[in-house]
């Protein structure tokens, strides 16, 4: 997995940061891109990051404020103009479908690919995680945060990978490669022609734990953050303000560096990345924000546009960070 930050600013674009959008690349055979939020100008950022619209499978919108949403119509229509025919699904709070429909209708835009919009509403169960998507490899949950409008965080859980088959152990028993191997790989016990029963668990190594990525929308500190973030490999948390502006953050339903750092500690996450930075903090102020968050949570980073963070499996080496 690889996170690329397409926009890391709050409220409005600046000459140093575009507004919010994050691309999660699912590396390997799948090669898909999942996007989280789509602020104004995201399609330009997406192209500059050398990402392909044909690989974009799903978009997850955290809430309906413009700095998280206004880039969506342009990106959807650009995908059509490129001749992409593979389906795309947009997930988000109630209202995202009417926004998309209105923009496409008013501009008389036509999409040749299938667009599905999945809306959810967590207000009836505000303290619960909502299961919004599952396939063979991933589960996605959403939970309501605390903001001026309904805002959500997402938890992406990669399913555990089965352990490797002990080929050498089977060879030592004189068992040749064949259909029995496939059965054992699937966890099924196998009875041989001589009556010997092979117990699948004896020939399969430990499973490889899946990775967990938590990405939050705009929020004050709240209990659902802990539920979304628990034991995550990486938590992406907004930190619109530095710690000295805690009163301002609270009044505007946002978070500070201290709020984000506490969430990392309480969630037991492996790494914390702060984003959604107020325009009052230029790039030369990044060291201040980083210093504040690292005082509480050492393995922290401040995202910048086009900054990339690699998320390795837990049994691999430490995460790799690179600048584009």
Catalytic center residues:
67
Separation CA 294–CA 291 (nearest Å): 5
Q: What is the DSSP letter of 30?
A: T
Q: Which two tokens stand for residue 146?
A: 């605390």
Separation CA 59–CA 36 (nearest Å): 6
DSSP string, 81-113: HTT--S-EEEEEETTHHHHHHHHHHHTT---SS
> Which residues does residue 273 pair with via DSSP β-bridges, in sequence order?
236, 301
> Which residues does residue 60 pair with via DSSP β-bridges, in sequence order?
36, 91
Residue 107 burial by Cβ neighbours in a 10 Å radius (0-12, 13-18, 19+): exposed
Residue of 20, 283, 15, 13 whose CA lies nearest to 4: 20
DSSP string, 254-267: --BHHHHHHHHHHH
Edge-to-edge strand ranges of the sheet holding 130-134: 130-134, 138-144, 152-158, 212-216, 234-238, 272-275, 300-302
Residue of 256, 269, 261, 255 whose CA lies nearest to 227: 269
The answer to whether the beta carbons of residues 309 and 299 sit under 8 Å apart is no
Residue of 279, 273, 270 whose CA lies nearest to 307: 273
Q: Is the dihedral of CA 175, 180, 181, 184 positive or negative?
A: negative
Separation CA 308–CA 66 (nearest Å): 24
The answer to whether the beta carbons of residues 32 and 26 sit under 8 Å apart is yes
The answer to whether the beta carbons of residues 263 and 225 sit under 8 Å apart is yes
């Amino acid at each position: 997995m690889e996170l690329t930050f397409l926009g890391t600013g709050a409220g409005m674009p600046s000459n140093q940061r575009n507004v919010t959008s994050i691309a999660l690349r699912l590396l390997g055979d799948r090669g898909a891109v999942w996007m989280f939020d789509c602020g104004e100008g995201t399609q330009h950022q997406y192209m500059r990051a050398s990402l392909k619209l044909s690989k974009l499978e799903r978009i997850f919108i955290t809430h309906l404020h413009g700095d998280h949403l206004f880039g969506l119509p342009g990106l959807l229509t650009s995908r059509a103009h490129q001749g992409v025919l593979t389906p795309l699904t947009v997930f988000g709070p109630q209202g995202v479908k009417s926004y998309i429909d209105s923009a496409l209708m008013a501009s008389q835009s036509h999409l040749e690919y299938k667009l599905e919009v999945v809306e959810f509403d967590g207000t009836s169960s505000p303290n619960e995680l909502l299961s919004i998507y599952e396939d063979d490899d991933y589960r996605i949950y959403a939970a309501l945060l605390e903001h001026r409008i309904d805002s959500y965080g997402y938890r992406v859980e990669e399913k555990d990978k089965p352990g490797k088959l002990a080929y050498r152990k089977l060879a030592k028993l004189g068992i040749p490669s064949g259909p029995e191997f496939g059965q054992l790989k699937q966890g099924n016990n196998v009875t041989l022609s001589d009556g010997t029963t092979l117990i699948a668990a004896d020939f399969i190594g430990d499973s490889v734990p899946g990775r967990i990525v938590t990405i939050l929308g705009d929020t004050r500190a709240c209990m659902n953050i802990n539920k979304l973030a628990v034991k995550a490999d990486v938590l992406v948390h907004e930190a619109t303000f530095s710690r000295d502006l805690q009163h301002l953050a609270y009044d505007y339903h946002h978070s500070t560096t201290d709020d984000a750092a506490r969430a990392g500690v309480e969630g037991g996450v492996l790494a914390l990345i702060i984003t959604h930075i107020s325009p009052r903090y230029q790039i030369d102020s990044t060291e201040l924000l980083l210093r504040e968050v690292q005082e509480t949570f050492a393995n922290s980073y401040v995202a910048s546009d086009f900054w990339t963070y690699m998320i390795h499996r837990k049994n691999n080496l430490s995460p790799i960070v690179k600048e584009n």
